[in-house]
Amino acid sequence: MAVDAVIFDWGGTLTPWRSIDPVAEWRALAEVAAPERVEAVTAALCAAAEAVWKRAREQHQSATMTEICALADVVSTEAALAAYRSFWDDATYTDPDVPGMVKRLRADGIKVGVLSNTVWPRTWHEEILDRDGVLDLFDGAVYTSEIPWTKPHPEAFLSAARAVGVGDPMRCVFVGDRLFDDVYGAHTVGMKAVFLPHSDIPASQIGHTVGEPDAVIDRLSEVPEAIARWR
């Protein structure tokens, strides 16, 4: 099997995993959106987020920030969303291995992409990648907030392959930190799967199936060597 593209998960893979307190996360938005009823709005946002991620895990249907706020009956003002994004700043920095690793892949003629389960809009992710100087290194990206499905649904992976210009998913390798979303999901469309096992996945986010990776790496700089056997 030739490898035409390597597609990466974002959170926990391209950016190292950070354990986030969901109450503090949504409180950051609530404190600006509804300062007169912070506790109630925080609770409503937490419940809404839990509901859409449960749906993603069980039905593989996507969601957006707009939907979460609507479910919680919260008006998400620009200032409130900015406060929410600011909360996440320290947890979004790109792994320092990424620039060199991606440049090596591209030098070998391999396309590079991103597929992320996210409720955030594309613009947020692109601003983060641009901040870290790596946005232009990727040939394409799919953020599930823009499509109907989340990983591990096959259509999410097929969309990512198309985004980097590869018609046959069996000529793609997926790199991620989750055995359900990333490894099991990639295998459903015939992609090879490389596992980066450093994320502390909450029990509530572990799916019904554990995939068996085709390779396991300790850091992203090892990706070119890990896929060499399939080229």
Q: Are residues 165 and 139 in the same domain?
A: yes
Give the end of a domain, one of 90, 119, 148: 90
* CA dist., res. 109 & res. 126, Å (int): 23
CB 223 within 8 A of CB 217: yes
Triad 204, 98, 161: Cα angle to 5°: 70
Question: Do 209 and 144 have their domain in common?
Answer: yes
**Structural domain boundaries, residue 78:** 22-90
Does 105 share its domain with 134? yes
CB 47 within 8 A of CB 40: no
What is the model's pLDDT at position 199?
A: 65
Q: What is the CATH number of the domain that holds 163?
A: 3.40.50.1000
How many domains in the chain? 2
pTM: 0.95
24-44: pLDDT as tens digits: 999 999 999 999 999 999 999
Which DSSP letter does residue 16 get?
A: -
Matching residue, tokens 């980097």? 164
Residue 211 banded pLDDT, cuts 50, 70, 90: confident
Rounded distance between C-alpha atoms, residue 83 and residue 34, angstroms: 12
User: Both 186 and 104 in a single domain?
Assistant: yes
